[in-house]
């Protein structure tokens, strides 16, 4: 059989994914087994796969595949998120290209376009996840805006409203002038930018006296309704009770005083624009000054501003500076750095704005659901890494009300209904709203008589107001709270997500879980870190520093990319993506592939060779016991969610123990067959390794494992997915270390002295325990090119130590030139130092008094060992120098 020496993943991956789907391997229905559930963090429906998804979903797939092999009924629910702002922005942009303006469309027309868009592009990201090998139960694919999930959202809104947990109020919100919507605090990103501080004179009426104000936002001056200084600030005491004139608009406003003002910053005087700054807003309320909203919803100047009407806020900033300079009001401009909030979705500068919005009263909510905090703090819900508990705690204890309305069309429309007098009812349909309205407002004449119907709120709900229900709604837990799925799969097991959405999503799912299921939504939260480039910059489309995942998988194989993502990604740490890690993954695939080629190339025989008779049993015991240890270690890593460590343990086992040692021992001489039982042993080990590898690298492991198992039952494929996770075999321990060290020693001496591996060696071992070597002598001969092994004293050849045993190595036909006297002396010095440190400990009475007895015994042992080693080395040294 001719197999290529280079592994080519492409066809193999496509082939197996199709087989897996055709055989319904990822399907899950409730049964008697223990459930193991993961709900996917739903990617944006119009999104494309980025490196963060790759990391996140690889981890989920590793967990779910292993759970399946552990005999659990593993269910990974996929789906997508309707992502109000992002999707609406994309649809608006698409329409713009077609020459259609959103303003010219009715709500229904716009939504028709949006749905069309969703149908066209909505599945792309899920298809990409299949390329990565994700073993989701695709029949369960959900969408946050599909009818039943939307219904759940509306029902929850109504329910919370009825419980008094939702209210509508005028608040200062973060306004996104590009998206023309309010966004939550969590969606604002603060960036440090270079700004200018403008120094502007506000004159006292009919006087040359003025107050100087420093501001970074001169354009908001049109909405100024006061200026404010610190009452302790001596410089401004003379202005108590006075007024000043706001330039340009020539409005007379009071000078007020408040401790809030920092006398050190700028001139120590703040202009107060209650409509456009949260602090000014609070001061405005406190000092009862008026509020003038000088912006339109798109960030242009409003009628109320009185000047520059319709011009953009940033253009006005420049213009107003110019105009103020001309009129002599602008004294100077100063460069400063300040923090400015940007919209996460549109990257527009956020404009604080007062508007009517719907809120969830979080203080009340938390009072009703204290478990939201307790469950995490008491490790009922585990965070990996646990240090993020602190962040969670801090946020929850300082929680703010959640603004849930968005001025968009794409999303669940808020089920609130208004009459023409501002009376509000909350109900699912217009019909129900009318009924409720008549009940609530019996004294208002029937609407019909006034020729009016109730009108529904124009806004939709925040996307997170649907995703916070995800672990329940994907199992239809709202409509049918007792259905088989929700009873079986909820609470889910693990949630894998990024720390940046801890507040957006994780915390809120915990909230909805306790509110609606009286239970936590998941047991473990694994926070992945953010994928960054080597310069620690976040990978993003706009920076162009992110490789295209599909291209990567094409070049390196999905398995290689998966390994690249998993290497070096402990929970909670950012991963610094480097292509070399993916290369390492690809190289690993190739290594495995070649081991496979080797094993498959062996002809087998029933004739037992001498080597087989003498060494197969001990080799088998050795590799089995090593594998036991590796499996235990891997399992421990999994329990602690240390996936990269688990993979690394397996990587080292396959590469070093299996390939470099085991296969080299078992390899028959060129052209000769291997004993059939030995071949069986090799395949058995190899097969288990492929099972262990499967969660990490599902494709190559599946490809290779099949042919390694002879029991392909009547052509039916025996998928790894349906096999079990290998368990330790309780194999016999073998004392192999000395023999293996001896091999390394011989290779080392060859290397040091520039002797070709083809030159054979004769060695002589001086030991009290020949049994440490004898069972391995054929193996030693094979791996270190040794032609004879004797036991006893020998003065000839190069000297070395294995443990306390003295080794003499003669290379056949090689003249020993220099004596490694210096090396010997170096080693003696080292051991002498070591001995001294141990002796210091052992003569320290306090150590003897305080340390545990077994520790003292260990130190004793170290002492005697070191002493005897030194003796041996000194003897060698003297024999050389004599």
Long-range contacts for 157-161 (Cβ within 8 Å, ≥24 apart)? 157/404, 157/412, 157/414, 157/415, 157/426, 157/461, 157/465, 158/415, 158/426, 158/427, 158/428, 160/360, 161/426
Q: Which two tokens stand for residue 353?
A: 């704005």
Of residues 263 and 851, the one with the C-beta less far from RNA? 851
In the complex, the smallest distance separating the C-beta of residue 531 from RNA, rounded to whole angstroms, is 11
Query: Judged by CB, which is closer to RNA: 239, or 651?
Result: 651
CB 115 within 8 A of CB 178: no
> CA 613, CA 673: separation in Å to the nearest integer?
14
Question: To the nearest whole angstrom, how small is the minimum distance from the Cβ of residue 269 to RNA?
Answer: 20
Phi and psi at 832, nearest 5°, equal -60, -45
SS3 content of the chain, % helix, strand, coil (to 5): 50, 20, 35
CB of 502 to RNA, least distance (A): 8
User: Alpha carbon of 24 to those of 19, 27, 596, 691, 707: distances in Å?
Assistant: 9, 5, 28, 19, 22
Shortest distance, CB of residue 749 to RNA, whole angstroms?
A: 9
Specify whether the CB–CB gap between 289 and 275 falls below 8 A: no
Strand residue runs (E) in 445-596: 455-456, 460-461, 492-497, 522-527, 531-532, 575-576
Q: Could you tell me the end-to-end alpha-carbon distance of the chain, in angstroms, rounded to an integer? A: 61
Question: Other CB atoms closer than 10 Å to residue 184's CB: what's the count?
Answer: 20
109 versus 578: smaller Cβ distance to RNA: 578
Quick one: DSSP state of residue 44? Answer: B
- Residue in 541, 347, 409, 404 with CA at minimum distance from that of residue 92: 409
Sheet of 351-360, strand order: 181-183, 166-176, 351-360, 402-403
Closest approach of Cβ 549 to RNA, in Å? 18
Q: In this structure, what token pair is assigned to residue 612?
A: 């087989």
Q: Which residues are CB-neighbours of 185 under 8 A, at least 6 positions away?
A: 174, 400, 403
The torsion angles phi and psi of 657, rounded to 5 degrees, stand at -65, -50
Shortest CB 708 distance to RNA, Å: 14
Q: Least separation, in Å, of the C-beta of 607 and RNA?
A: 20
Q: What is the dihedral of CA 373, 374, 380, 386, to 10 degrees?
A: 60
CB of 402 to RNA, least distance (A): 11
Least CB distance from residue 399 to RNA, whole Å?
10
DSSP readout, 317-357? Answer: HHHHHHHHHHTT-EEEEEEEEEEEEEETTT-PBPEEEEEEE
**Closest CB 750 distance from RNA, rounded Å:** 7
Nearer to RNA, 446 or 757 (CB): 757
Helix (H, G, I), strand (E, B) or coil at 727: coil
Q: For RNA, give the closer residue by CB, 583 or 621.
A: 583
Please report how close the Cβ of residue 820 comes to RNA at its closest, in angstroms.
13
For RNA, give the closer residue by CB, 214 or 425.
Answer: 214
Q: How far is the CB of 853 from RNA (least distance, A)?
A: 11
Q: Which is nearer to RNA, 17 or 503 (CB)?
A: 503
Nearest to 798 by CA among 847, 751, 736: 751
Closer CB to RNA, residue 143 or residue 383?
Answer: 383
Q: Which is nearer to RNA, 202 or 504 (CB)?
A: 504
Beta bridge partners of 801: 806
Closer residue to RNA in complex, CB, 153/182: 182
Residue 516 vs 526, nearer CB to RNA: 526
Q: How many CB atoms lie within 10 A of CB 574?
A: 15
Q: Which is nearer to RNA, 719 or 834 (CB)?
A: 834
Quote the tokens at residue 31: 């049964």
How far is residue 788's CA from residue 799's CA, in Å, rounded to a whole number?
Answer: 16
CB of 276 to RNA, least distance (A): 15
Other Cβ atoms less than 10 A from the Cβ of 709: the count is 15
SS3 assignment, position 226: strand
Least Å distance, CB 398 to RNA, is 6
Which one-letter DSSP state was computed for residue 34?
Answer: P
Please, are residues 182 and 176 in contact by the beta-carbon 8 Å criterion?
yes
Residues paired with 811 in a beta bridge? 761
Q: Which is nearer to RNA, 32 or 337 (CB)?
A: 337
Q: Which is nearer to RNA, 248 or 708 (CB)?
A: 708
Nearest Cα to Cα of residue 523 among 643, 376, 341, 421: 376
Shortest distance, position 837 Cβ to RNA, whole Å? 4
Using the minimum distance from each CB to RNA, give the nearer residue, 488 or 847.
847
Largest CA distance in the chain: 124
The residue among 308 and 465 lying less far from RNA, judged by its C-beta, is: 465
Q: How far apart are CA 402 and CA 542, in angstroms?
A: 29
Compute CA 754 distance to the chain's CA centroid, rounded to the nearest angstrom.
Answer: 48
Nearer to RNA, 207 or 672 (CB): 672
CA distances from 138 to 27, 28, 54, 653 (A): 8, 10, 18, 34
**Minimum distance between the CB of residue 572 and RNA, rounded to whole angstroms?**
8
In the complex, minimum distance from the CB of residue 256 to RNA, in angstroms, rounded to a whole number: 21
Instruction: Give Cβ neighbours of residue 872 (< 8 Å, ≥ 6 apart).
Output: 801, 804, 806
**Nearest residue (CB) to RNA, 298 versus 500:** 500
Closest distance of CB 536 from RNA, Å? 7
Q: Could you give the CA distance from residue 152 to residue 476 in angstroms, rounded to a whole number?
A: 8
d(CA 51, CA 13): 20
């Amino acid at each position: 059989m001719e197999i290529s020496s280079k592994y080519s993943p492409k066809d193999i991956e496509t082939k197996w994914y199709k087989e897996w789907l055709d055989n319904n391997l990822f399907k899950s229905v409730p049964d008697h087994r223990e459930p193991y559930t993961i709900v996917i963090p739903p990617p944006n429906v119009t999104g494309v796969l980025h490196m963060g998804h790759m990391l996140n979903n690889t981890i989920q797939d590793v967990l779910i595949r292993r759970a399946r092999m552990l005999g659990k009924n593993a269910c990974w629910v996929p789906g997508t998120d309707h992502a109000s702002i992002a999707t609406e922005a994309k649809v608006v942009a698409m329409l713009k290209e077609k020459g259609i303006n959103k303003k010219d469309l009715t709500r229904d027309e716009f939504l028709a376009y949006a749905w069309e868009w969703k149908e066209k592009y909505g599945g792309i990201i899920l298809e990409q996840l299949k390329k990565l090998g994700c073993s989701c139960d695709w029949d369960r694919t959900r969408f946050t805006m599909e009818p039943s999930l939307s219904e759940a959202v509306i029902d929850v809104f109504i329910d919370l409203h009825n419980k008094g947990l939702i209210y509508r109020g005028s608040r200062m919100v973060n306004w996104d002038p590009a998206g023309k919507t309010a966004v939550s605090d969590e969606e604002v990103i603060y960036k440090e930018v270079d700004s200018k501080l403008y120094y502007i004179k506000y004159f006292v009426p009919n006087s040359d006296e003025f107050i100087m104000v420093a501001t970074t936002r001169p354009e908001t001056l049109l909405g100024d309704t006061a200026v404010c200084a610190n009452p302790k600030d001596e410089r401004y005491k003379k202005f108590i009770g006075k007024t000043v004139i706001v330039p340009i608009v020539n409005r007379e406003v009071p000078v007020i005083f408040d401790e809030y003002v920092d006398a050190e910053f700028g001139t120590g005087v703040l202009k107060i624009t209650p409509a456009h700054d949260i602090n000014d807003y609070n001061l405005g309320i406190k000092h009862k000054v008026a509020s003038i909203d000088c912006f339109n919803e798109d960030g242009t100047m409003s009628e109320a501003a009185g000047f520059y009407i319709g011009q953009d806020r940033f253009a006005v900033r420049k213009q107003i500076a110019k105009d103020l300079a001309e009129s002599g009001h602008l004294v100077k401009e100063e460069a400063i750095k300040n923090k400015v909030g940007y919209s996460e979705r549109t990257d527009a500068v956020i404009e604080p704005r007062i508007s009517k919005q719907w809120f969830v009263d979080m203080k009340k909510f938390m009072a009703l659901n204290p478990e939201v905090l307790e469950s995490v703090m008491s490790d009922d819900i585990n965070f990996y890494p646990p240090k993020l508990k602190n962040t969670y705690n801090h946020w929850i204890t300082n929680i703010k009300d959640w603004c849930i309305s968005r001025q968009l069309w794409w999303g669940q429309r808020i089920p609130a209904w208004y009459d023409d007098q501002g009376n509000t009812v909350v109900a699912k349909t217009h019909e129900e709203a009318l009924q409720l309205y008549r009940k609530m407002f019996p004294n208002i004449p029937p609407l019909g008589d006034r020729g009016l119907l109730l009108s529904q709120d124009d806004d939709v709900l925040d996307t997170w107001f649907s995703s916070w229900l995800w672990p329940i709604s994907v199992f239809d837990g709202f409509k049918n709270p007792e259905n088989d799925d929700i009873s079986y799969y909820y609470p889910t097991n693990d949630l894998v997500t990024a720390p940046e959405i801890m507040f957006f999503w994780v915390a809120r799912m915990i909230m909805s879980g306790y509110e609606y299921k009286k239970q936590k939504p998941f047991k473990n939260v694994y926070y992945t870190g953010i994928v960054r480039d080597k310069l620690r910059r976040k990978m993003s489309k706009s920076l162009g520093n992110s490789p295209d995942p599909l291209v990567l998988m094409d070049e390196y194989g999905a398995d290689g990319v998966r390994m690249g993502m998993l290497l070096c990604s402990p929970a909670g740490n950012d991963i610094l993506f480097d292509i070399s890690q993916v290369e390492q993954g690809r190289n690993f695939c190739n290594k495995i592939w070649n081991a496979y080629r080797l094993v498959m190339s062996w002809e087998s025989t029933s004739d037992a060779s001498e080597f087989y008779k003498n060494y197969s049993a001990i080799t088998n015991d050795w590799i089995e016991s090593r594998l036991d240890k590796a499996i235990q270690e891997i399992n421990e890593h999994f329990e602690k969610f240390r996936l990269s460590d688990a993979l690394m343990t397996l990587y080292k086992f396959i590469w070093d123990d299996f390939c470099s040692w085991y296969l080299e021992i078992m390899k028959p001489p060129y052209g000769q067959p291997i004993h059939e039982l030995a071949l069986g042993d090799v395949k058995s080990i190899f097969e288990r390794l492929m099972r262990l590898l499967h969660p990490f690298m599902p494709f190559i492991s599946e490809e290779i494992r099949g042919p390694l198992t002879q029991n392909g039952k009547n052509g039916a494929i025996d998928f790894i997915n349906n096999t079990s996770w290998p368990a330790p075999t309780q194999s016999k321990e073998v004392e192999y270390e000395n023999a293996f060290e001896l091999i390394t020693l011989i290779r080392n001496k060859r290397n040091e002295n520039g002797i070709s591996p083809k030159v054979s060696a004769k060695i002589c071992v001086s030991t009290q325990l020949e049994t440490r070597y004898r069972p391995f002598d054929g193996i030693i001969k094979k791996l270190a090119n040794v032609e004879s092994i004797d036991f006893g004293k020998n003065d000839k050849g190069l000297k070395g130590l294995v443990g306390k045993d003295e080794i003499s190595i003669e290379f056949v036909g090689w003249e020993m030139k220099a004596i490694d006297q210096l090396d010997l002396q170096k080693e003696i010095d080292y051991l002498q130092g070591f001995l001294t440190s141990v002796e210091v400990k052992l003569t320290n009475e306090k150590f003897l008094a305080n340390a545990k007895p077994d520790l003292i015994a260990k130190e004793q042992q170290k002492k005697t060992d070191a002493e005897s080693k030194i003796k041996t080395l000194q003897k060698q040294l003297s024999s050389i120098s004599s």
